[in-house]
Structure 1
Amino acid sequence: MTRVPGPTLADIARAAEVSTATVSHALNGTGRIGDATRRRVRETATRLGYGTPGPPRSRTLGIAVTTFPGAWNYTEIAYFSRAVTAATSAAHARGYALITLPAARAADDAWHRLAVDGMLIMDSPRGDPMVRALRARGIPLVFDGVPGDPHPGDHWVDNDHEATTRTVLDHLAASGARRIALQSGHGDEHYARAVTAAYRRWCAERGAEPLVVPFDVADDQGHAFDGLLGRRDRVDRVDAVHAVYDPGGRQLLAAAARHGLRVPADLLLACASEDPGYATTAPPVTTVSLNPERTARAAVELLVDLVEGGGTARPGPVGVPAALLVRASSGAQPS
């Protein structure tokens, strides 16, 4: 079979209305050209199929977190650390290497040159440029969490955030909570939006005012809660909080101590986290596990099947159950 040649630099130059030298600089990250021109050339190259991979040849998969742009080490967060470890093990078991793309690279144009057979993308937001470029290159994708811009035929692995959120809120209510706040994320990933929406529906069903506190990773002392926890009127003050991100539990413990509130006597607390350290805080904190190991293994298995099977796996979600681990902070004895 005669191989059909891909687009040349001259083809890209004509389509982008620039010189071949500009195309070369744009694709190689060299030269002094404007950001808008560099971006236009690379988007043109992607659209024309420049560098589109053929059948698997590198036996390499990639993994990235694209929710928050900029340089941050997501492997220091328990969920992502455990997911990356499990994904690496699953990839090796199928004979593939796994490269972990730094968050700063996920925010730039590395995807135009990324040499992988398939990509696992975690917490992809709406308008994700990495996803747009990889789709154009024809690289198989699997998502951890619902993609921000789902397309027909997409594949993802996720928890049932509606059911999980209701389980946590019902547990806090059964433990005596009457005014429950939610500490939710400020990102655009599906997780934060889904949990917040489920919380608002739960409140509406009970005629309760929803109280959503924005999560700030730098707020170690939980000052975002001062306006709620500082109210001395027991009837008006928040008496329970569900934190949807890992640091939230410690932020709330610090805020409660600062306001002279006892956990769980004055404030009930639950936190979504994979950090085993919450078992030894004072008091131990009730946590929700989103089961990152099982999620990552399922995502890698699905991705390898797509790479090797040409996209024959059934599209749509693969569900992974979450788990509520009850500890003293939520006021109920573990069963």
Structure 2
Amino acid sequence: MRRTTIADVARAAEVSTATVSHALNGTGRLAPATRVRVRALASALGYGDRDRPRPVTSRTLALAVTTYGPDPWDFASVAFFAQAIAAATAAAHEHGYALTALPSAPAEELWATLPVAGVLLIDSPADDPVARILRARGLPLAFDGRPAALRPGEVCVDNDHRAMTHQVLDHLADQGATRIALMDGRGADHYTRTCRAAYLEWCARHGVRPRPLPMPPPLVEDRGRTYDAVLSGPDRPEAVYGIYDPCGWRILASAERCGLSVPGDLLVVCASEDPAYARGTPPVSTVTLDPGRSARAAVGALVDLIERPRHRPRPVTVTVPARLRIRATSVRTAQLPASVEPGPGHSH
């Protein structure tokens, strides 16, 4: 492993090399908190050590969901992430590694000192400070969900969210809906950004007005009351596609308060791994992204990066198929069509 440089410390701390120099030498006019933080990161990264850093011998992997940055939230209670964590843990054990699932928003110093062999980041947002620190340490990285920039020696596993978004919207349009809303959130991750861009692209292609329905932050639970005014208005949507696990429950609760029948007055599709949607009355149409398969593939790729460091490939993206499961909430006919699944995944 190469020696850590002052530029590595500056990138990890998001400051200039001059600031790092001042912090380490006790010079310059720096806030005390900045000086302490830079010194801690420099020490954790091994800057200034006389000996070259020794390779990590840990047999532990780390998993983190960094979607919302410093905001804490209980991602493990969401079906998508719960399935991903369980599959990643099983895959790590099969390869002879332990796996630690980190809570959201841990202290920055933890990432600079965490004694692991490699890290799996799920839904890493643009300008992810965690990815920046881990890269500065030279740790092998795998991403579940495409990061803003994939570097040589890194692997990403993802779905074709653009194609799936278009498929859902085409299905709702085929059922007669002309006013289709997209329920999304404030995340800066690739999934959210791609679904939103695909929705706007589809609306432009079909000459219809976009109808975004932003979700409240993850810690806010309002049982869909945010949408009551929209669903009770004269220009209400005829269909809604929610791209997160809770979207379906929230829009169904709002529709009930507004006196709308589903699917008679409102068609609903939700991207979710929650099996309760299939047992609902009526059963809810869902998109599955197969997080178990994605997490297993990402862990396998991460282990390969760790154990074959001299053969790290150029950036690789593996695509896992998503699937639309059509149920009663998105069909206005008595006959339910078969579920639709895109073609097989591919690497490029």
> TM-score, length-normalised on structure 1?
0.86
- 3-state DSSP class of the match of 2:265? coil
| Shift in alpha-carbon separation, 1:223–1:135, aligned structure 2, 3 A | same
Please tell me the residue identity of whatever aligns with 1:259: C
C-alpha contact 1:49 1:137 (8 A) present in aligned 2: no
- 1:49 is displaced (CA, Å) by 7.7
- 3-state DSSP class of the match of 1:121? strand
Please tell me the residue identity of whatever aligns with 1:222: G
- 1:226 is displaced (CA, Å) by 2.6
Q: Name the stretch that deviates more: 263-272 or 141-150.
A: 141-150
- 3-state DSSP class of the match of 2:105? helix
| Shift in alpha-carbon separation, 1:215–1:73, aligned structure 2, 3 A | same
- 1:6 is displaced (CA, Å) by 7.7
Map 1:135-214 → 2, pairs under 5 A: 135-214=135-214
Please tell me the residue identity of whatever aligns with 2:37: R
Please tell me the residue identity of whatever aligns with 1:164: M
Q: Name the stretch that deviates more: 46-55 or 275-284.
A: 46-55
Q: String of CA shifts for 1:2-57, please: whole Å, max 9, x gaps.
A: x99989xxx99x9644579x9xxxxxxxxxx9321222223444383869964441
Counterpart CA distance in 2 for 1:157 and 1:240 is 30
Partner of 1:27: none
Partner of 1:229: 231
| Shift in alpha-carbon separation, 1:323–1:284, aligned structure 2, 3 A | same
Counterpart CA distance in 2 for 1:176 and 1:109 is 53
Counterpart CA distance in 2 for 1:142 and 1:239 is 40
- 1:269 is displaced (CA, Å) by 0.1
Counterpart CA distance in 2 for 1:129 and 1:52 is 25
The match for 1:37 among 31, 35, 38 is 35
C-alpha contact 1:49 1:136 (8 A) present in aligned 2: no
Counterpart CA distance in 1 for 2:20 and 2:80 is 43
Counterpart CA distance in 1 for 2:202 and 2:4 is 54
C-alpha contact 1:120 1:144 (8 A) present in aligned 2: yes
Partner of 1:244: 243
Counterpart CA distance in 1 for 2:101 and 2:297 is 17
Partner of 1:82: 83
- 3-state DSSP class of the match of 2:277? helix
C-alpha contact 1:184 1:192 (8 A) present in aligned 2: yes
C-alpha contact 1:181 1:213 (8 A) present in aligned 2: yes
- 1:219 is displaced (CA, Å) by 4.0
- 3-state DSSP class of the match of 1:42? helix
- Residue 273 of structure 2 is aligned to residue 274 of structure 1: yes
Please tell me the residue identity of whatever aligns with 2:32: G
Q: CA RMSD in A?
A: 2.6
C-alpha contact 2:111 2:134 (8 A) present in aligned 1: yes
Counterpart CA distance in 1 for 2:149 and 2:3 is 31
- 3-state DSSP class of the match of 2:223? coil
Please tell me the residue identity of whatever aligns with 2:33: D
C-alpha contact 2:61 2:97 (8 A) present in aligned 1: yes
Structure 2, unmatched stretches of 5+, are: 11-18, 339-348
Q: Identical aligned pairs, as a percentage?
A: 47
Q: String of CA shifts for 1:47-92, please: whole Å, max 9, x gaps.
A: 8386996444111111000111233221111000000000000000
Partner of 1:29: none
- 1:262 is displaced (CA, Å) by 0.2
- 3-state DSSP class of the match of 1:67? coil
- Residue 131 of structure 2 is aligned to residue 131 of structure 1: yes
Partner of 2:291: 292
- 1:237 is displaced (CA, Å) by 2.5
Partner of 1:100: 101
- 1:245 is displaced (CA, Å) by 0.4
Counterpart CA distance in 1 for 2:48 and 2:321 is 39
Q: String of CA shifts for 1:103-126, please: whole Å, max 9, x gaps.
A: 131x53210111000000011112
- 1:158 is displaced (CA, Å) by 0.3
Please tell me the residue identity of whatever aligns with 1:103: S
Counterpart CA distance in 2 for 1:5 and 1:122 is 29
- 1:215 is displaced (CA, Å) by 1.1
Partner of 1:61: 61
Please tell me the residue identity of whatever aligns with 1:205: R
| Shift in alpha-carbon separation, 1:126–1:39, aligned structure 2, 3 A | farther
Counterpart CA distance in 1 for 2:229 and 2:86 is 39
| Shift in alpha-carbon separation, 1:229–1:109, aligned structure 2, 3 A | same
C-alpha contact 1:53 1:117 (8 A) present in aligned 2: no
- 3-state DSSP class of the match of 1:202? helix
| Shift in alpha-carbon separation, 1:208–1:153, aligned structure 2, 3 A | farther
C-alpha contact 2:153 2:305 (8 A) present in aligned 1: no
| Shift in alpha-carbon separation, 1:261–1:312, aligned structure 2, 3 A | same
- 1:129 is displaced (CA, Å) by 1.3
| Shift in alpha-carbon separation, 1:70–1:163, aligned structure 2, 3 A | same
Partner of 2:343: none
Count of equivalent residues? 314
